[in-house]
A and B are shown apart, each in its own frame.
Chain A
Amino acid sequence: MIPELGEYALILALGFSVILAIVPLYGAASLKTIWMEYAKPLAKAQFFFMAISFACLGYAFGQDDFSVQYVANHSNSQLPIQFKLSAVWGGHEGSLLLWALILSGWTLAVSLFSRGLPLDMLARVLGVMGIIATGFISFLLWTSSPFLRYLPRYPRDGADLNPLLQDFGLIVHPPLLYMGYVGFSVAFAFAIAALLSGRLDAAWARWSRPWTNVAWAFLGGGITLGSWWAYYELGWGGWWFWDPVENASLMPWLVGTALMHSLAVTEKRGVFKSWTLLLAIFAFSLSLLGTFLVRSGVLTSVHAFASDPERGFFILVLLVLTIGGSLTLYAFKAPNVKSESSFGWLSREMLLLINNVFLMVMAVTVLLGTLYPLLIDALGSGKISVGPPYFNALFVPIMGLLVVSLGFSSVARWRNTSLESVKQQLMLPGIISLASGLIFPFLYGDGFNFRVFIGISLSMWIITTVFREFKGKFRSTTSIAEKLKQLSPSYYGMMLAHVGVAVTAIGITLVSVYSEERDMRMAPGDTMELADYQFKFLGTKSVKGANFVADQGTIEISLDGESVVTLYPQKRRYNVKKSMMTEASIDPGLFRDLYLALGEPLADGAWAVRVHYKPYVRWLWLGGLLMALGGIVTVFDRRYRKNDTQKQGVANA
C-alpha cells in the first residue's frame, strides 16, 4: 500500500511541476500577476509530494518490503538499518528519485529565499525549474519507477546492497554530489530567465551568485568525500582514478568554478555577460550530461549501477530539449559579444578571463578524454580506452598555469593595473615560493625533486599572493580589528577557497611523490619496516559482523621502539552476495597516514599484507573542504540580501 502511495505522490508531484512549468512562465510573458503568483505555492506543493514519495520508498526499505523490486534488489533483512536507509539511493531508480527530490528542494529554497526578487523574475526562474522537474519526474515514472512490485510471488529476502556501498561514505556522498549537480539548475534557471526577460543587468549576476557558490561548494564537498571514500574503501590507497563517473562530477565543478569568477566580473564590472550566461548553461548541461553518461551505460565504469538503452534514449531526449533549447535561446537572445566597459590588458578582468579559459580547457580535456572512446567507436574506427596517463599529461600542466594566473589576479586591480605595481607586489611572493619549492625536498626528502619543487612553489605562490593582497587591504588603515570586521564574508570565503587550492596542491604533490608501499608475506610474529615504522603482525582471528564474517589481522606499529598504534585490517566475506571485501585499517594523521590492508591468506597462518605510508594525504581532502567552506561562507554576505530590495525598483524599471 505504502509503495503505491509513493508512486501516487510522484504522479501528483509531476502534475504540479507541469503546472509550474506552464502557468508562471505564461504569466510572466503576458504580464498577468495572478498567474505569476502561482509560482511559489506550486513550488511548495511539488516539494511536498516529492518528499512524501521519497519517504514512502524509505519506509519500504525500513520495513524490508521485498515485494518492491527495487528494495529486493538493493537491500537485505540482515543489512544494518543505516545502510537500509542509505540503500534508498544505492541504485539507479532511487538515486534518480533523490535527484528529483533535491531539485524540488532547490526550487522550494528559491521560492523561500528570494523575497527581494521581482515577481516576474521569480516566476520565470521557478517556471524553468518546473520544466526541468517535469522532464526528470517523467523519466522516473516512465522508465525507472522505484515502486514496481514483484507480484504475486516475491523473494523472501533481498539480494543485498553492493558491499562496496555499505559504508558511511555512501550515506553522504551521493546526496552532497547531487546537491551540487542539481544546484547548478538554479544558476541555469536564472540565466534562462534573464535571457527570456532580456534584462541582463548586474542584478541578475548578483542574484545568481550565492546560489552558484552554494551549489559549487556542495559539488566540491561531494567530490572530496568521494575521493576519500575511494581511498579507504577500495582498499588500495588510490584517491582519484579518472573514472568516467568521477570525471562526470569534475567537469561541472570546473565549469562552475569558471562561472563563479565570471559572475563576479559581470556583477562588479558589467562585462562578460554573454560568456557568463553561456557558463551558467554549460555548468548545468554538464551536470545533465554526467547523469546521461552514468545512467545510460554508453560508457562502462566501475561505478555504473545499471545501464539500459531505453533509459539512455530518454535522457538523451531530455538533453536535447533542455540544453539544445537553452542554447538556441542563447543564440537568439544573448547580447552581442562586446563589452560596455573597457579594461586594460593587465587588469583583474583580463586575468579572470584567462583563468576562465584555463578552466574551460581543463573541462574540455576531461570531456574529450571521457568521450573519446565513444567518439572513436561511433566513427567505426574500433574500440579504445583512455587511461590516466592522458589525463595526467594534459590536466596537471594546465592546472599549474591556472595557479600561476591565480597569483596574478589576486593582486591585480579592476580596470587596469600598472606593470610596475604588479612587479612590486609579486616580487617577494615569487622569491619565497621558488625558495620554498627548492628547499622543501631537501628538508623533507633526500634531495632535489622536480615535481616537489613545482608543486610546493605553486602552492606557496597561492598562499603568499593571497596574503600579499590581504596585507594590502590594511595599507590605508590604522585599526586592524576594524578593517577585519569591515571585510565582507565574500572576501573571507574567497581567501579560504584559494588557500584550499594550495592545501590540496600540497597534498597531491607530496602524496604522489613520497608515498611508500610494500606487500609482504607475513606469518604471525613477523615484523617489517617501512618509512621508519616497524610493523609487527600478530596473526588473524575470525570476527563476525552484522552481515559478514571476516578474518581480522592484528598489527602493532611502533616508531623507534615506541608503540604508535595497533591496527586491525579485515578481509570480509559478505553472506548474501558471497563477495570478498578488503577493509583497510588506517591510522590517520595530518602529516601521514599508515594504511594497512590484508591481501590473500597464505599457508601456515601467513598473509599477504599491504602496507602504505601516505604522507600529507589528508591535505588533499582538507583543501577540498576549505574550498567548499569558502563557497558557503560567501553566502553570508549581507550584500546579497540588502541590495536586492534596494535595487528592486531599478530592476523593475
Chain B
Amino acid sequence: MPRLLLFIPLALFSILILFLWKGLSIDPRELPSALIDKPFPAFKVEALLSPERKLTTADIVGKPVLINVWATWCPSCRQEHEQLLRIAQENKIAIIGLNYKDERTAATQWLTQLGNPYQFNIYDESGMLGLDLGVYGAPETYLLDAQGIIRHRHVGVVTEQTWQELQAIIKSWEKL
C-alpha cells in the first residue's frame, strides 16, 4: 500500500497535463465565434456611479461605442487608463465602461483619482454580463457598431496602436 502512495504525484501531474493540453488549444485572445457580428448580450444592470439608474441594451445602441472591461484589481487596466483618457479627449467615439467584478467604492475612487474616460459605467458586480460576453479577464475592449453589434474584440491593454486599428475599422464603416 505505501508504494501506491508514491504514484499520487504522477497521477496529479497527469491530470494537470490534460488541462494544460486542453488549454493550449483554447486561444484566449479569440472571441467565441458565436459572438462576433452578433448583438451585444441583453442586460439590465446598475450604473456604477448612480446605482438607482438601470442600464439596458438601449443605452448602448444608436452610435458606435467602445465597451471597455476594467476593474480596480487589474494592473493592466491602470496601464491603459491614460490611453483611454486620450481617446476620450479626441471625442471620436464614446467609451462605455464595464466595471467587472469590482467594489463600487474602490471603482468610484479610481475614477475620481485617475480621471473618468467613460460616458457611463455598467456595474457588473457578479460578473454575469462578463460571462455572457465571454470575458476572459480584464482589460478587454469591444467595438460595437451603431446597431449594437459586436464588430471587434481586443484582449489586453489598449495602446496607441490598438486605437489606430480601431479607428481604421470605424473608418471602413463610414466608407460603406
Contacts and interface: CB of A to CB of B under 8 A. Distances in A.
Interface in B85-134: 85, 101, 112-115, 127, 131, 134
Given A327-B13, A331-B10, A385 B138 contact: yes
A319 B21 CA distance: 11
B19 interface: yes
A383 B134 contact: yes
A580 interface: yes
A382 interface: yes
Contacts of B114: 519, 599
Contacts of B82: 580, 582, 599-600
B78 A313 contact: no
Contact of A241 (B3, B10, B75, B131): B75
B71 to A, nearest CB: 7
A579 B83 CA distance: 9
Contacts of A323: 13
Nearest to A388: B73
Contacts of B20: 292, 298, 316, 319, 374
B135 A383 contact: yes
Nearest to A297: B28
A336 B3 contact: yes
Nearest to B24: A312
B136 A236 contact: no
A330 interface: yes
Contacts of B13: 285, 323-324, 327
Contacts of B51: none
Interface string A185-219: 00000000000000000000000000000000000
A274 interface: yes
> Main SS of chain B's interface residues?
helix
B74 interface: yes
Interface string B136-176: 11100000000000000001110111000000000000000
B75 A313 contact: no
A378 B115 contact: no
Contact of B78 (A236, A309, A377, A389): A236
Contact of B136 (A243, A385, A389, A599): A385
Contacts of B71: 387
Given A241-B75, A316-B20, A378-B19, A608 B6 contact: no
Contacts of B10: 324, 327-328, 330-331
Interface in B5-47: 5-7, 9-10, 13-14, 16-17, 19-29
Given A236-B78, A300-B137, A309 B159 contact: no
A300 B28 CA distance: 7
A600 B3 CA distance: 64
B6 A331 contact: yes
Contacts of B19: 371, 374-375, 378
Given A298-B23, A383-B134, A579-B160, A334 B78 contact: no
A192 B79 CA distance: 44
Contacts of A297: 28
B76 interface: yes
Contacts of A236: 78
A148 interface: no
Interface string A284-320: 0100000010001111101000000100110010011
Interface of B: 2-3, 5-7, 9-10, 13-14, 16-17, 19-29, 71, 73-76, 78-79, 82-83, 85, 101, 112-115, 127, 131, 134-138, 155-157, 159-161
Given A299-B28, A327-B9, A373-B136, 5 more contacts: A298-B28, A302-B75, A374-B19, A387-B74, A582-B82
Interface of A: 234, 236, 238, 241, 243, 274, 278, 281-282, 285, 292, 296-300, 302, 309, 312-313, 316, 319-320, 323-324, 327-328, 330-332, 334, 336-338, 371, 373-375, 377-378, 382-385, 387-389, 519, 578-580, 582, 599-600, 608, 610
Q: Return the 6 tightest CB-CB contacts between A and B, nearest first.
A: A385-B137, A378-B22, A387-B73, A327-B10, A519-B113, A298-B23
